Amino acid sequence: MDEILRNSTLVDGLESLIIKHITDRKLTPGDEIPSELELAEKYNVGRNVVREALSRLRMLGLIESRKRRGIVLSQPNVMTSFQKVVNPFILSKETILDLLGMRVSLEIGCANLIVNNITDHDIEELKRIVAKEENISYLKVNVEMEREFHTKIYAITKNRVMLDFLNIILPVFKYVNENFEDFDRFNKGSQPERRLVRHKDLIPYLEARDLEGYRKAVEDHLIAYVEYIKTIHTPDIPN
């Protein structure tokens, strides 16, 4: 029996072997893969094992069944499976912090795309969005306020995957604000040395097409998360 099948459950192993088959043969969407019977005979497993492995791949959007053609490779939505598992109520705190870090890094890292792509029309739309926001005195904002402003920001990048990621990750930010009591002290913005940057404060940098200014302002806008992640991952060592 193949080493992959020996070192995992039969279904897990067969799933890996089917993906390896797709990769090794450089198959593209629309190409056929072996039938249930062919897979069962090739890897010496039962049909029920094959069905379960194929069912998993269908759920991932990697394959589909077509009349008179059998099983073919399909074009998956890369965010579909991600969305199914990114539920803050079932994720560990460490995983949640990693997701927060990913979003912070993405937000800062895409500054170049935003500054280069933004138009005067985009800026006017952002101004209309921030005009509707409540007057807040700390960094804890309503998730819908975050969603509307940052959805527009991400749309400027013209990257659909980034926009999908934002919609998946924002509920995680809300969960941290509402459930992580140790985050609250980072979130108040009470430190005198901290520059409080709201959505409206980002717009002048975009109007001026000031890349470095905008990147630093975004970092300050998300500073509560930056400091929280850094502190939790690298806690103070007592003397």
* Tens-place pLDDT, residues 21-71: 999 999 999 999 999 999 999 999 999 999 999 998 988 888 998 887 889
Fold (CATH) for 3-73: Arc Repressor Mutant, subunit A (1.10.10)
Give CA–CA dist 67/104, Å, rounded: 45
Structural domain boundaries of the chain?
3-73, 80-233
Element (H, E) at 71: strand 70-73
Let me know: does 74 contact 63? Beta carbons within 8 Å.
Answer: yes
Q: Using CB atoms within 10 A of its CB, is residue 108 exposed (0-12), middle (13-18) or buried (19+)?
A: middle
Question: Is 74 in contact with 29 (CB distance < 8 Å)?
Answer: yes
Q: Which CATH class is domain 80-233?
A: mainly alpha
d(CA 108, CA 9): 41
Closest C-alpha among 10, 201, 214 to residue 117: 214
Q: How far apart are CA 4 and CA 81, in angstroms?
A: 23
The pLDDT tens digits for 104-150 are 999 999 999 999 999 999 999 999 998 887 655 444 456 677 788 98
pLDDT digits (tens, 9 = 90+) for 187-231: 655 455 667 888 999 999 999 999 999 999 999 988 888 888 888
**Rg over CA atoms, the chain:** 23
Residue with tokens 């929280």: 228
* Cα 213 from Cα 198, distance rounded (Å): 14
Rounded Cα gap, residues 128 and 122, in angstroms: 10
